[in-house]
Structure 1
Amino acid sequence: MIRPFRVGIAGLGTVGASVIQILDRQNRTVAQRGGRPVQVVGVSARDRAKDRGFDLSRFTWFDDPLALARSEEVDCVVELIGGADGTAHEVVRTALSLGKHVVTANKALLAKHGSALASLAEEKGVSLAFEASVAGGIPVIKTLREALPGNRVSRLYGILNGTCNYILSRMELEGLTFAECLKDAQRLGYAEADPTFDVEGFDTAHKLAILTSLAFGSKIDAEAIYVEGISSIAPLDLAMAHELGFRIKLLGVAERTETGIEQRVHPTMVPKTSSIAQVMGVTNAVTIDADAVKELTLIGPGAGGDATASAVVADIADVAGGKAGTTFGRPVADLEAAPRAPMQRHEGGYYIRLTVHDRPGVAAGVATRMAEADISLESILQKRSEMAATKDPHGRSGAPVPLVLITYAATEASIRSALDKISRDGLIAEPPQVIRIERE
């Protein structure tokens, strides 16, 4: 008789509880996929008395998750504690050191310690699996690691944070402010009490660091990622995007360039006709551009108990059957320290919203500074308020009004240089809004 694959789960929040429930109802299928029965033998969490919808008495309870990681009764530790350091890191490192397999959903841990932990897993001859760490139930890790060895990836980009996508979707469809949508997202449980990690782009950056390593065979380099969040996006930006044929998304983008691997997270205008523009609400999406498959887009639930647990269970089945493969698709020693492509060298189209003084010569002054920086303008739109139009027979009041520019391809450095000069010229009343455009 084949001995069961014995699993210990550290962390019994929404995802951990869902893992146990999925394994209960899909036990036979998981055993068939893995080639052996899977049995949860131990669990650890902060609160033993909490009702999680199933009987905890059938498992060995560990007050200390490190004791679970050290238990001789456990073959595989599932880490669902979270956090880049502290207990989560100690649990994973301890389990690997003792020759135990690890399955984790912890993107922060992998973004910071992924290479070292993968090296330890190789040394001990065990698996470190992490499908659930990026995009919830979407099998993007497996796709990059196992399905595309015949491809050279040139770019990947995606919506990797459901909270931000929900907020931007609501802002666009209902004309709400960022603050109003954030408050509603918190009420519905889509955003944390402190939403900084999500809305300022750091969660997306951690996930992008992992995908970049898998896509380009590079060492994880989260410090190389340029990060902007969505808190500065105004309803006017979304309305202008709509008028211009775009939609605004928070994207994580990794791309091969002549100067190295460019990694960036920021609000982005994408054409409404693109696949990724259709992704609304808390849904995630990842698009992979490669030479053989051309463009491949994966769309699905990026968070939630069952969706994330589905990815965890898939990893457990693969590890049980010895099919988990190399952590990052190749030995750690073969991962390259890819040159960083400085954000200042990024080249693309830009949406620029300036709040200018409504007086003669301002638009011409702005256009002159852009031309001096070799920036070509695709369009320029000035919005005047009804109040301004009634103040002066020429429709000018001197009051601040929005001036929107769309550029052809330009470098980040040239855009910033021109905007600095425009500011010094006294032509704008507020800091400029700059959103990059990602063409298909």
Structure 2
Amino acid sequence: MRTLKVALLGCGVVGTEVARIMTTHAADLAARIGAPVELAGVAVRRANRPRPGIPDHLVTTDAAELVKRGDIDVVVEVIGGIEPARSLILSAFDHGASVVSANKALLAEDGAALHGAAAKAGVDLYYEAAVAGAIPLIRPLRESLAGDKVNRVLGIVNGTTNFILDKMDSTGAGYSEALEEATALGYAEADPTADVEGFDAAAKAAILAGIAFHTRVTAEDVFREGITEVTAADIASAKAMNSVVKLLAICERSASADGTESVTARVHPAMIPLTHPLANVRGAYNAVFVEADAAGQLMFYGPGAGGAPTASAVLGDLVAVCRNKLGDATGPGESAYAQLTVNPMDDVVTRYHVSLDVADKAGVLAQVATVFAEHGVSIDTVRQQGREGDASLVVVTHRATDAALSATVSELRTLDNVRGVASIMRVEGE
């Protein structure tokens, strides 16, 4: 029985855990796969760092040569970023190796080309670890629900932002204070931009939408809004509505009046009611709802990041790919047969929470309500609180398009009696 050889690209937090599990669980992995699996090389940027448990002779700084070796069966890519990851993966395909990747940014940008290259080479491309860490999500969408019609994917897919918003809600901390704590605890990177501005979640939303709706969706197709503008006042307003604020990834299928289907994908902060299960997802955890015709509503919950959880997903893919290698087969590839139109954010229909600073005098509320009506945005509730000549006016709307709400807000900003638009937040999960 031949030994399957694995090349590991990257030996950071995740890569180190992958190598450790491959070593300590070698016998179990061999039993599950049906053949021994050997770590044949580890590509790193700096070779002189101590790497306990990894023999020095396996470490190399020449990743390009490692993936070209003709004896490598599977390449595990956990270096992240676009380049050199893309070139290394394509080279691995050219030399007959399947690839297991955790690279959400690359898959969201260039997934179609990577799938095409893998199919041409007759090898696998698996990437369970690219979305939601240890939570099994990609494989259920690609395989378990392959016979069903998925209509919506809704969830929390970034642990850093969930930790920050949870701290703001539970302790009353401001955004900066909560971010500082997240950084101190290791939940946020030194440069947290990818997380707090929504880039990380948008890449994951693109991957999920593409698989769920059998349509090519890239990160550029995903509307993105981060949490940096969320204030303590927004958190307090949410509490007043028996809600919490979460950064949500929402991918939806919709149909026009003539039955033509299309999809939308978006990432933004939103208020959700305390009765919704996502409201109780605390700390750095992730949770995703999948809504399908036959299966109904499914919820996936667990740790969405970290070395060990992400390595768990990587090893799950490794076992599947190695089994395919032994059987001279490949698993599911890209499914983009539907080719549905990806609609812009303007077409999205949802509810809104709009907070205005206005002059505290008679007729202002009627003036504001008229602007909403003129743009076809129906008001559900209004709450007004006066303070020394000014007032805070909070309007919660019924469902309306994003374009209609944007036009309403633009006109409100021109009114003399509106001092400013303090915040706009979508309301979801009802």
Q: 2:74 aligns with which of 73, 76, 89?
A: 76
| Aligned match of 2:389 | 398
Matched, 1:426 2:423: no
Whole-angstrom CA distance in 2 between matches of 1:357 and 1:7:
67
Matches of 1:250 and 1:56 in 2, distance apart? 42
Gaps (5+ residues) in structure 2?
Answer: 257-261
8 Å CA contact 2:104–2:203 kept in 1: the answer is yes
Counterpart amino acid of residue 22 in structure 2? L
Letter in 1 for 2:251: A
Structure 2: how far apart are the matches of 1:355 and 1:191? 33
Aligned mates of 1:29, 1:382 — CA distance in 2? 63
CA deviations 1:125-177 (Å, max 9, x no partner) are 11111000000000100110111122111110111111110000000001111
* 42, 65, 75: which one aligns with 2:63: 65
1:36 correspondence with 2:42: no
Q: Quick one: structure 1 residues 7 and 236, their matched pair in 2 at CA, closer, same or farther if it must change by over 3 Å?
A: same
- The match for 1:122 among 110, 119, 132 is 119
After superposition, the C-alpha distances for 1:234-287 in whole angstroms (9 at most, x for unaligned) are 111111111212111101111011251111111111121111111111001110
Deviation at residue 402 of structure 1 after TM alignment: 2.5
Q: For 1:402 and 1:230, locate their aligned partners in 2 and report how far apart those are by CA, in whole Å.
A: 22
Q: Give, in angstroms, the shift of residue 342 of structure 1.
A: 2.1
Counterpart-to-counterpart distance in 2, 1:324 and 1:229 = 38
Residue 173 of structure 1, aligned match among 170, 173, 190:
170
2:201 to 197, 200, 204: 204
**Counterpart in the other structure of 1:394:** none
The residue matched to 2:346 in structure 1 has which SS? Answer: helix
Give the alignment of 1:253-332 within 5 angstroms. Answer: 253-258=250-255, 260-322=262-324, 325-328=331-334, 330=335
Deviations 1:375-434 (A, max 9, x none): 2211111234xxx3xxxxxxxx224x4321111111112211111111111233234411
| Aligned-residue offset at 1:335 | 3.3
| d(CA) in 1 for partners of 2:28, 2:330 | 17
- The CA deviation string for residues 23-42 of structure 1, in whole angstroms up to 9 with x for no partner, is 12222222222221111110
Distance, in Å, in 1 between the alignment partners of 2:43 and 2:307 is: 17
Q: Name 2:3's counterpart in structure 1.
A: 4
Q: Separation in 1 of the partners of 2:319 and 2:59? A: 23
Rounded to whole Å, the distance in 2 between the matches of 1:345 and 1:369 is 20
Count of matched residue pairs: 421
Moved more, 158-167 or 32-41: 32-41
Aligned-partner Cα distance in 1 for 2:212–2:54: 41
1:227-242 alignment, distance < 5 Å: 227-242=224-239
Q: 1:149 aligns with which of 146, 151, 156?
A: 146
Secondary structure of 1:50's counterpart equals coil
Preserved CA contact (<8 Å) 1:199 1:230: yes
Equivalent position SS for 1:29? helix
Report SS of the residue matched to 2:314.
Answer: helix
Secondary structure of 1:348's partner? strand
C-alpha separation in 2, matches of 1:74 and 1:342: 43
**Separation in 1, partners of 2:275, 2:181:** 29
Which secondary structure state, in structure 1, belongs to the residue aligned with residue 417 of structure 2?
coil
Please, which moves more after superposition, 86-95 or 428-437?
428-437
Contact 1:145 1:214 in 2 (8 A): yes
CA–CA distance in 2 between the matches of 1:336 and 1:292? 19
Q: Note if contact 1:129-1:324 (Cα within 8 Å) is conserved in structure 2.
A: no
Rounded to whole Å, the distance in 2 between the matches of 1:147 and 1:186 is 37
TM-score (norm 2): 0.94
Given that 2:4 and 2:37 are in contact with CA atoms closer than 8 Å, whether structure 1 keeps it comes out as: yes
Residue 180 (structure 1) shift = 1.0
Distance 1:7 1:21 in 2: 13
Which residue of the partner structure matches residue 259 of structure 2?
A: none
Q: Distance in 1 between matches of 2:199 and 2:412?
A: 30
Q: Deviations over 1:28-76 (max 9, x none)?
A: 222222221111110011222223332433x522211111111223211
Q: In the aligned structure 2, how far is the partner of 1:242 from the partner of 1:25?
A: 47
CA–CA distance in structure 2, aligned partners of residues 312 and 52 of structure 1? 19
Partner of 1:342: 344
What amino acid maps onto 2:37 in structure 1? Answer: V
When the two chains are superposed, the root-mean-square deviation of aligned CA atoms in Å is 1.5
